[in-house]
Structure 1
């Protein structure tokens, strides 16, 4: 088992199978439980909650501390691997110096030569194995970090308050998942590369001093100069990265709003105007992106120039100070040592740049996760129906979309709905009809009063919500198929004729946001989902807004009658908002 993990021989059966035939999904082994997103999210949530209770959230980066608390052991293990690899890399020039010195002797012991060759082989094997283990552990840890943060961002989006939603648009939330969380895959690797590169540089300098003595001093000057020049380079890269992310957020926010309102834009022939707006944001984003790429050329020049300058300065120092003879052993060792120092010089700026980007992502995700969210307990829920005399009870309720405003959206609401009762709320536009629904659902902040809800809820929004998938998937919504109830729900919502027209029936794929369905069809699909849900309470927010008068009459007479009378549950509540 140990050798299998050390040499990665556990993957040989999969490679052998892939050599014989193309791999299919059944050939790929499943993930271990520790690598599943559910487990990673659970560990991160526990660490997040413990830190949240210990200190003030807004004064520290909670995301970094929570990840460090969860994955400290794995980070230490990968750090040990990279440290062993660094020692092995630095030891090679010393072994080369001893081996070349051994070959230059007139009389040499064979056993000593074999010993040097053996040690050189062991060092090289150790370097290779430790490097592979470091890379695997670091990438695996990064994958777990990314999974935990992606789930946490999704979870936070469901709890985000209305003021928080104003500060974080849909495009920005997509960026938190697609860009910021994805950078966590690279974070453990670049973190260890950063400090190990610095150690490798210091050990390389120590090796040079042990070989050439004070002749290595002239080589320190160009090395220090190149290191100091990396400071403004890192600051410039960080500024470009911050501005690039801000410009990207603006573009995604505008693109999302334009796509959501494309029908109005097309009707008003505003395509060119909004196209110019998107292009202006894209130009700003491209400007910062191109500036960052041009600055990376600066880092590349430093990488290719520094080894030549350092080696020339060291050899000149040896000639000037006469600190070491310029024989084959000295020259080969100096060149080999500089070769081991070239990778740290190359990767150190990249590691700094990557860590700067990760730091920006940490700050962005942290600002999102610590933002205001809807308080728990806005609605007292009881799924077991312990109070069957009424379903919904609101006493002296005051509700506000923005809790900071002095005037609430709904004031002095008192509502008591008995079991099996139908309630219709009518009013002018903006009078707060939909806000009452959100108050029952707990989606609007309650400033005072009490809200009690007994039983499960099925909600039909005014704007139809459709997920990508088949019609059947949208109606069942994860519930098991009961054919008789399913057919009744389709017929009650007047979907039977539509399904007969479709080539694949109820297995017809619905595009993104129901793009290949009419507004009435989408509304009836989500109404069928509510009917099939078989809930205790039905909240219908103007369910006939997108259907014609004939279909609305049919739905009212058949579907609502089914919701009230034909269910196996004790009672139903329908709230109709016109």
Structure 2
């Protein structure tokens, strides 16, 4: 019976793994539906998403049905196996002893089988749980085994411990200038992050012949949605404006500077602290002030300067509790323009050496856009390295450098 039950355990694991896969896909789709429920309602896509969710749920239920059918068969075997094993054993003993079986031998055998019956039943009942544990451990192991992208190792500066890199000794201490080299395919990519304690420290951004991709799986094939051969430098006090059509690679350039893309070739150097404002403003549940400070201590002079530069003074006046107004989950109480200005204010309040702004002016009116550019981007942040991706071409004449992106390639204008 044990081989049959071991085969059942393998089937349990297979069906339970498939069920978990379909369940994960269904939960992910449900989360996306809930997050985008306004758009779904606006375009009347309820039936389409309902069919998709129902299809995944049916696949999940089918796998669960298989699991429960196997469970039923397993319990049936568990109930009948002691009798079957007893009968088979008696027949074997009769055959060995030439059909002569003494009562004392038979009763001893029956007593022994009665003692083993409990353990056999517990073993059978444990098989489904062993299969569940096996599936859970594999899923946890897959999560643990996920490899971080090589350029993330520059985070060692926060701990002072140099991470081990294949083919290179683990050495170095906090404060050293470090260049991490990562070989991917036929290309070589390097990332450099000098520390502020370095005597040669200068805030700067340098990209030298950089090719990068969003998907780490493309790192081996050098295919996919890539930045191609990007070269530019930016020093303190410079305003670099990145322009181009939608999908040309402006946001990808900023993402590559914060290590959210895999560098396939070339070298990237970002020295100094970095503040990033995304194209879609991210607002957390809490007050407006909490969203601007974002965990930093309150510095009244800097805070007031940022609020004024980001044109939030008027908004605070009309809000019921000023900057202590609770914005709700994901800023449901705020307009698109208010979200964009709060996101910009958060980046400005960080007082970072490098400020990356992904089209913060697109969600505001023309006169507000002019105020933000003059008072914040070219005013409050004039001593920073500011890299601004934008469609507002009327401000190009105030930029130190202009990068024009076309089909993931760039040229200076």
Does TM-score exceed 0.5, indicating one fold? yes
Tell me the residue number matched to 1:247: 22
1:369 to 143, 146, 150: 146
Tell me the residue number matched to 1:575: 387
Q: Alpha-carbon deviations, 1:458-479, whole Å to 9, x = none?
A: 1111111233444333322222
Contact 1:379/1:440, CA 8 A, preserved across alignment: no
1:356 to 134, 156, 168: 134
User: Mapping of 1:146-225 within 5 angstroms?
Assistant: 225=1
1:323 has 2:104 as partner = yes
- d(CA) in 2 for partners of 1:561 and 1:365? 44
Q: Alpha-carbon deviations, 1:74-98, whole Å to 9, x = none?
A: xxxxxxxxxxxxxxxxxxxxxxxxx
Q: Alpha-carbon deviations, 1:72-123, whole Å to 9, x = none?
A: xxxxxxxxxxxxxxxxxxxxxxxxxxxxxxxxxxxxxxxxxxxxxxxxxxxx
Q: Alpha-carbon deviations, 1:189-226, whole Å to 9, x = none?
A: xxxxxxxxxxxxxxxxxxxxxxxxxxxxxxxxxxxx3x
- d(CA) in 2 for partners of 1:373 and 1:389? 24
Root mean square deviation, CA, Å: 3.6
Contact 1:383/1:456, CA 8 A, preserved across alignment: no
Tell me the residue number matched to 1:337: 115
Tell me the residue number matched to 2:258: 441
CA shift for structure 1 position 326:
5.8
User: Mapping of 1:291-306 within 5 angstroms?
Assistant: 291-306=66-81
CA shift for structure 1 position 252:
3.4
Aligned in 2, Cα 1:308/1:470: closer, same or farther, shift over 3 Å? Answer: farther
> SS of the residue aligned with 2:104?
coil
CA shift for structure 1 position 438:
2.4
2:57 to 282, 291, 299: 282
Contact 2:29/2:53, CA 8 A, preserved across alignment: yes
Aligned in 2, Cα 1:351/1:483: closer, same or farther, shift over 3 Å? Answer: same
> SS of the residue aligned with 1:442?
coil
Aligned in 2, Cα 1:497/1:337: closer, same or farther, shift over 3 Å? Answer: farther
User: Mapping of 1:169-568 within 5 angstroms?
Assistant: 225=1, 227-306=2-81, 320-323=101-104, 337-338=115-116, 340-341=118-119, 344-358=122-136, 360-361=138-139, 364-365=142-143, 369-370=146-147, 376=153, 377=180, 378-384=190-196, 386-387=199-200, 391-401=204-214, 402-403=218-219, 404-405=221-222, 409-503=226-320, 505-564=322-381
- d(CA) in 2 for partners of 1:507 and 1:310? 75
Contact 1:386/1:454, CA 8 A, preserved across alignment: no
CA shift for structure 1 position 457:
0.8
> SS of the residue aligned with 2:136?
helix
Contact 1:398/1:408, CA 8 A, preserved across alignment: no
Contact 1:375/1:445, CA 8 A, preserved across alignment: no
Aligned in 2, Cα 1:370/1:321: closer, same or farther, shift over 3 Å? Answer: farther
In structure 1, the gaps of 5 or more residues are 1-224, 566-570
Aligned length: 344
Contact 2:194/2:201, CA 8 A, preserved across alignment: no
Q: Alpha-carbon deviations, 1:521-540, whole Å to 9, x = none?
A: 22222212112211111111
Contact 1:510/1:517, CA 8 A, preserved across alignment: yes
- TM-score of the superposition, structure 1-length normalised? 0.52
- d(CA) in 2 for partners of 1:532 and 1:286? 51
Q: Alpha-carbon deviations, 1:15-38, whole Å to 9, x = none?
A: xxxxxxxxxxxxxxxxxxxxxxxx
CA shift for structure 1 position 372:
6.2
CA shift for structure 1 position 550:
3.2
Aligned in 2, Cα 1:510/1:229: closer, same or farther, shift over 3 Å? Answer: farther
> SS of the residue aligned with 2:291?
helix
Contact 1:423/1:576, CA 8 A, preserved across alignment: yes
Contact 2:275/2:355, CA 8 A, preserved across alignment: yes
CA shift for structure 1 position 287:
1.8
Q: Identify the structure with the greater helix proportion.
A: 1
Aligned in 2, Cα 1:228/1:453: closer, same or farther, shift over 3 Å? Answer: closer
- d(CA) in 1 for partners of 2:61 and 2:317? 49
Aligned in 2, Cα 1:314/1:473: closer, same or farther, shift over 3 Å? Answer: farther
In structure 2, the gaps of 5 or more residues are 95-99, 154-179, 181-189, 391-413
> SS of the residue aligned with 1:242?
helix
Q: Alpha-carbon deviations, 1:258-312, whole Å to 9, x = none?
A: 4454444333222211221111111211221232123222223333444566678
CA shift for structure 1 position 491:
3.4
